[in-house]
Copies of this chain bind each other. A is one copy, B any other.
Amino acid sequence: MDEIDVYLRRRSEIYTWMARNSIAMVVLEDTEGRRDPAVRYFSGHPSDALLILTITGHCVLCPWDENLAYQKAQVDVVVPYTDFGRHPVAAIKGIAEQVGAPHRSRIEIPAVTPYPVFLRYVEALPEYDVLCRETGVHTEIARMRSIKDETEIALLEKACAITNDIMDRIEDQVRSGKIATELDVALLIEKEARKAGAEGTSFETLAAGPSRSWGIHAFPAYTSGAFPAQGLSILDFGIKFEGYSSDVTMTFASGPLTTAQEKQITLVEKAYKAALEIYKPGNFTRDASLKVDEIFRKAKKTMPHGLGHGIGLEPHEGPAVRNREDNDWVFEPGMAVTLEPGLYDPKHGGCRLENSILITEQGNRPLTRSRIVRLG
């Protein structure tokens, strides 16, 4: 399937949904503070734009950077943002008129629209019914994006293959002593990712030596401190290839370890294996999380974060894999999700094992080969 067809096919699903739900116009917005990669998903335009889909099957892009749009966007029309004085509300009003959205029809804006901005839309569009809903087109898009199509799986596989190569290189350089600090490992990742053609890392690499690995997300993300060193060191990173993110965490266990540290490793590995059995089509994602909770609870431990999340155009997207009661996601073939049990102790440090996993018809297929690396 060529590139243009991919976007057309994705949009046509939404046009159908709009027809069924009587929505005349859907507004997507990617802007500083409110990123929405759905703009890229439906148009190829990477960032900073409004994307408007109409029930009549038209797709209008209003980009901050017009030149970038002419290079990247696969849409019906590009309307410069400057035509509307760089005001999103004015742009939507203008575009609604240009595409001839019938008065009294329904326009759905992003669910993350701040309440005061929502009021501005309502004020500016008195002829329309402006919807901003927790459950609406954005839920539908999240559900759609949670199941990767062939194009997406190929890109994720590429991101994960680069990640695997980088992990192997890191392990080699850790063992040979070439990597001595958090900074060393973080810069190696940045460099190798870009050299392999990636857009970069998909989030700030988190490299925490033993004195800092107790933090779920160490702050700062990396320093010039020792990495690894005696005890438990955590390395959490992902790389982004044509927009698609991998996500892995390695733990380096440098002996001699305390009994508590050995126990952390054993428990995390046990939880990982047990959860992977549940990462299969038809199972509730919540059940994988509850299984891990149970294993940790028996050892009087608690995991202070979710068990996993979808990956794709965002490093965190649907499905959620966590124990909250309102989580009703079910694993389906085509989902790409992380599995990342971890335990943290202010005294003994942290241990986390994370891979990126594709749910398949048969069960699952790990796309990455992260591991707990034992040293010395």
| Interface positions of A (Cβ within 8 A of B) | 32-35, 46-48, 64-68, 72, 82, 85-86, 111-119, 132-134, 183, 186-187, 190-191, 194-195, 199-200, 204, 214-217, 219-224, 304, 316, 324, 344, 346
Further contacts, 7 of them, CB under 8 A, given A115-B115, A119-B134, A194-B223: A46-B219, A47-B219, A65-B304, A67-B215, A67-B344, A114-B114, A187-B187
Q: A238 to nearest B CB, angstroms?
A: 14
Contacts of A46 in B (CB 8 A): 219
Q: Which residue of B lies closest to A86 (CB)?
A: B324
Q: Which residue of B lies closest to A48 (CB)?
A: B217
Give the distance in Å from the alpha carbon of A222 to the alpha carbon of B68 in the complex.
15
Q: A362 to nearest B CB, angstroms?
A: 33
Q: A242 to nearest B CB, angstroms?
A: 10
Is the pair A220, B191 in contact by a Cβ cutoff of 8 Å?
Answer: no
Query: A200 touches which one: B48, B115, B204 (CB < 8 A)?
Result: B204
Give the distance in Å from the alpha carbon of A2 to the alpha carbon of B300 in the complex.
40
Is the pair A191, B200 in contact by a Cβ cutoff of 8 Å?
Answer: no
Is the pair A215, B132 in contact by a Cβ cutoff of 8 Å?
Answer: no
Most B CB contacts (10 A, CB to CB) among A46, A85, A114, A134 go to A114
Given A85-B324, A111-B114, A195-B183, answer yes or no on A65-B32 (Cβ-Cβ < 8 Å). Answer: no
22 residue pairs bridging A and B, Cβ less than 8 Å apart: A33-B35, A65-B304, A66-B304, A67-B215, A67-B344, A82-B304, A86-B324, A111-B116, A113-B114, A113-B115, A114-B115, A115-B115, A115-B118, A116-B133, A117-B134, A183-B194, A187-B187, A190-B190, A194-B224, A195-B224, A199-B220, A200-B220
Most B CB contacts (10 A, CB to CB) among A115, A190, A204, A346 go to A115
Is the pair B68, A215 in contact by a Cβ cutoff of 8 Å?
Answer: yes
Query: A187 touches which one: B32, B86, B190 (CB < 8 A)?
Result: B190
Query: A132 touches which one: B32, B115, B221 (CB < 8 A)?
Result: B115
Give the distance in Å from the alpha carbon of A64 to the alpha carbon of B215 in the complex.
11
Q: Which residue of B lies closest to A223 (CB)?
A: B194
Q: Which residue of B lies closest to A220 (CB)?
A: B199
Contacts of A221 in B (CB 8 A): 200
Given A132-B115, A134-B116, answer yes or no on A65-B216 (Cβ-Cβ < 8 Å). Answer: yes
Is the pair B194, A67 in contact by a Cβ cutoff of 8 Å?
Answer: no
Q: A120 to nearest B CB, angstroms?
A: 8
Query: A67 touches which one: B65, B190, B220, B346 (CB < 8 A)?
Result: B346
Give the distance in Å from the alpha carbon of A94 to the alpha carbon of B67 in the complex.
50
Q: A138 to nearest B CB, angstroms?
A: 10
Is the pair A67, B200 in contact by a Cβ cutoff of 8 Å?
Answer: no
The 3 closest A-B pairs by CB, nearest first: A116-B134, A199-B220, A115-B118
Contacts of A32 in B (CB 8 A): 316
Q: A281 to nearest B CB, angstroms?
A: 27
Q: A155 to nearest B CB, angstroms?
A: 14
Give the distance in Å from the alpha carbon of A316 to the alpha carbon of B222 in the complex.
23
